[in-house]
Amino acid sequence: MHMHCYKNKTGKQFLDFINIVDRKYSIDIKQIFLILDNISIHRSKKVHETIQKYHPRINLRRLPTKSRTKSDKDKLDVDAMTGNKQVYT
């Protein structure tokens, strides 16, 4: 697990964090999952375009904004492990 906190959060700082995470792990690791909250910098178009272009093995997963039942959480856990990109609402 890797965590980093900034006093002020910006898209550039988030991309710096993505670079750190991507460099930290061997190229033999094909997928890296990041679990994120729903702060706006995690959802910005620039961030997603940059990650898709330069960090294709980084998979962003957001925590649900509503509280979930245990069975819904289990679905999200299984989806993250299997690569299922279905969105549960």
Which structure tokens are listed for 24? 């930290």
Whether the full predicted model's pTM is greater than 0.75, yes or no, is no
Answer whether 35's CB lies under 8 Å from 61's CB: yes
Chain segment 58-82, per-residue pLDDT in tens: 999 888 877 555 555 555 655 555 5
- Quick check: 35 and 58 in contact, CB under 8 A? no
Domain ranges of the chain: 11-64
One-letter-per-residue 3-state SS of 38-75: CCHHHHCHHHHHHHHHHCCCEEEEECCCCCCCHHHHHH
**What's 83's DSSP letter?**
T
pLDDT tens by residue, 5-52:
667 788 888 899 899 999 999 999 999 999 888 888 888 899 889 999
Give pLDDT, residue 81: 58
pLDDT of 88 strictly over 50:
no
Backbone angles phi, psi at 71, to 5 degrees: -65, -35
